Every structure is written in C-alpha cells, then in structure tokens.
Structure 1
Amino acid sequence: MELDSIYQNFECRNTEDTSEPQTLNHRQDEGKDEKCRGSRCLVLMTVCLGLICVLLLVIIIFITAERESLVKSYKNTVEEINQTINSLQDNYTDLTQKKLELETRVNDLSAEKSQLQRSADSLSQKNLELETRVTSLSDELRKTSKQVFFFISHESKSWSESRQYCRDRGADLVITNTEEKQRFISSIVKESVWIGLSDIETEGRMKWVDNSTLNRGFWSNGQPDDYNGNEDCVELNPTQDPGNNWNDVPCSDKRKGICEKN
C-alpha cells in the first residue's frame, strides 16, 4: 500500500511538472489534486508512525535497561543490607557474650572484694585485740617489775661464764616464769641467749638460778630432748614463737646471757 501511495505521489508530481496542454476538465483536475494531497498525507502519517514506533522502541529499550539496572542495583543493595544485618547480628552476639563475661568477672571481683574486706576487718579486729593485749601485758609487766631491769652480756660465753658475768654486776641470769615476762624477754632480744634455767644438779629436774623448781615451760616442739645426754642448759630463741622458744643445749655452747637485776 505504501508503494502505491509513493507511486501516486510521484505521478502527481510528474503531472504537475508536465508542459503539455491540459486536456482534462476542471473537475477532474480537482479530484486528482485531492488524491495527490491524500497520498502525501498518508506518506507523512506513515513516516510519523514509523518515527513514533522507533521512538517508542528506544523508550522501551531505555526503560528496560534502566529497569534491569535498578533491579540489579536493588538486588546488590538488598544483599549489602543483608550482609550488614548479619555482621551486626554477629557483632551483637559477640558483644552479648563479652557483656556476660564482664558481668561474671565483675561478680567474681565483687565476691573477692567482699572476701578481702571481711579478711581485712578480721585482721583489724585481731590487731586491736593484740594491741589491747600488749598494752595489758606492758602494764602488768611495769607493775611487777618496777625495780627490775635487764641487760645482755657483750660477749658469747658458756652458760656458767654468762651467769658469772651477770653475778659480777649484781644480777643473775633471767628467770622467765610467767607468760608476760617470757613474751617481754622474747621481744627485746635479737639472738639466742642463755636464761637462768638448767638441770645441772639433777638430770631431768630443771631449776632456776634461785633454786626454784620449774612449774611452767615455754619449750619449742620436741624439747627438751637432752640430745646425747649432754644438754643441761636452756637457751631462748627469739626467732620462734614467743610462747614456745626454749631449747636445751650443751652448757659449753657459746651464747650471750640476758641478765636480770632487782
């Protein structure tokens, strides 16, 4: 149909351009002109429709490409969001675990703090009790020994020589027959010293230098043992428990003596 229209259009142009004298009447000329104009309109409409189709095709292709691009971008965005969500969930799980661990640690530290506080309170109480006891012992000792003083020999000698050292100075080896006096003497000496106790006269019968019999001893664990049957004199060792620091040793051993003068 388009070829017929183009041919008719071409025929119309040829008819208009001819130089031959017109033999048709005026009505035929007008009909032919209308037919030519219709053919040109049809061609123009066909071209316009073709252009519109091409434009629509381009638009459709463009929209399809954009749609595919948007769909792809949407999928990528969704995937990134999902990855981000998964990562956040993992982080949240890790943080929750760390929070639980920290809470457990805090609870443990709180328990340890409470235990340490109780221990500190107990030690403070014991310290107060000891201070009170020391003060009491000091007061008692001052009351019972207002006219007594003690001194230590300058040289290490045998038990008999140390006793003679004391006697030459109007004193004698110390008699520690009470717990208060025992603890006081233990607190003022820094090394093992002779005290005025022995069983030189009668084996197994300890006597003080004033000839009084021993009623209470402050012996170290396992003492006296009279090792080799030759340990008849008594030393006081301040590095041990003040209430249990006596030991029997040979009287010939060298020690400094602690003297007591009334």
Structure 2
Amino acid sequence: MQRIANVDRNKTTIALEALNGSSRSNLYRVNADIADIKRKQDDESTYRDPVLVKLLGWQRSENVLFKYFPDAVNYGTARARCSGYPRGRLATKVLRDPQAVRDINSRRYVDVNEDVTQPWVGYVDLVVEGTFKWADGGSTNHATTTWHGGQPDDAGGNEDCVEILTTSAEKVYLNDLTCSDHRHYMCEVDIYS
C-alpha cells in the first residue's frame, strides 16, 4: 500500500490509501474511509482542515468556502441544502471576491448552452418586488456582479430568484428567474481562522 494522506483529527487518524490492485478488502476499507470523510462534512471543524476541504470538493475564498453542486433543483431546495451546512447559504460573498470569480470562470461551471448548469445564488427579491437582497446582507452593488443585459425583467411577473447566467474573466452576470425552475446551485460556508 502506498500512503496518500494522513490527517490527524482530534486524535483520530483518517488514512486514505491507494490500492496496489491486489486486494478487494483494501477497496472496501478505502470506500469506508471516504464515506467517513463525507460524514464529517457536517462537522464545522472539518472546514479548518485544508486536506479534507479539498477532498470534499470545496474551494477557499478569503473567509468563505464554496462549492458547485451539479444537482438540478428548485431554489427552495438549493437554499435548504446550503443552509444544512454549518454557517452555510447559497453563494453570496464568493461572488463579490474577484479571485473567486476568476476561479469560477476558469472552472467553467456555467455552460451557456445548457440552462440547468446556470447555478442558483443567494440573491432574491422575495420580500419586496424589485428590491434584490443578498442572503448574507452584503452590498447590492459590487464590481464583480452585474445584471445580464435587460435583467432583471421579472418576466411573467414571477421571477424572484437569481442564477448566474454567464461569466467573464472578471464578472458574474446575473439573471432573475422563476424560483420553481430547476438549476444547479453554489453553496458557501463562513469559516474563521
């Protein structure tokens, strides 16, 4: 066996091992270790461990971790899933961080030719029509986020939720959409050093 990573977590060692191809029991043990790591995703101390963060697919941006989820769900489901993480919510702060926006663009999360990939974010006008608010209470005007041409348009009088419509090297372009539509989504969690 070749050791890939050894992470000390509260006197518990999680060992991930690469298989040398000769043992099925090793495969089961590695799968069990991976399942254990995924269960730790709900433990907020996990977010301070850079190895586990990477293994779980999260990216870091200042004091926030963010992750793109390729499950097509409505806005309410996306918001609930993101809120299920400690200090979690749909993406807000990460969209106002220039470096994170460049990372989102370079990973090509958004495919303009496939609507469902355009992820939900935490920006809505559910309380007062036409007054969009970030889920974290952050500033509504920022250099890295802007409305796509002609947006918001509240088409059909029922577009209260927001998706990332497209990206450029330095900006995220937003679009208002009916909350019942199905889209991928992007979560973030606050972390503190």
Distance 1:180 1:224, change over 3 A: farther
Structure 2 partner of 1:160: 76
1:30-109 correspondence runs (5 A): none
The 2-side partners of 1:256 and 1:228 are apart by 22
**Structure 1 unaligned spans of 5+:** 1-143
Q: How many residues align?
A: 118
Quote the Cα distance in structure 2 between the aligned partners of 1:249 and 1:187. Answer: 24
- The 1:164/1:245 distance shift into structure 2, 3 A limit, reads same
Instruction: Give the aligned partner of residue 105 of structure 2.
Output: 186
The equivalent residue for 2:89 is 172
Q: Rate the CA distance shift 1:179–1:169 in 2: closer, same or farther, 3 A.
A: same
Runs of 4+ in 1 over 2 A off after TM superposition: 144-148, 177-188, 240-245
Letter in 1 for 2:141: N
Q: TM-score, structure 1 length as denominator?
A: 0.41
Partner of 2:150: 222
The amino acid that maps onto 1:151 is K
Partner of 2:6: none
In the other structure, the counterpart of 2:168 is 241
Higher strand share: 2
Contact 1:206 1:214 in 2 (8 A): yes
Q: Which has the higher contact order (CA 8 A, sep 6+)?
A: 2
User: Which residues of structure 2 form unaligned runs of 5+?
Assistant: 1-59, 111-116
Between stretches 247-256 and 205-214, larger displacement belongs to: 205-214
From 185, 210, 218, the equivalent of 2:136 is 210
Query: Who is 1:130 aligned against?
Result: none
Alignment TM-score, normalising by the size of structure 2: 0.54
Which structure's residues are more often helix, by fraction? 1
Matched, 1:250 2:178: yes
Q: What displacement does 1:213 show?
A: 4.6
Give the drift of 1:199: 0.5
Instruction: Measure the CA separation in 2 of the matches of 1:259 and 1:179.
Output: 17
Contact persistence 1:232–1:250 (CA under 8 A)? yes
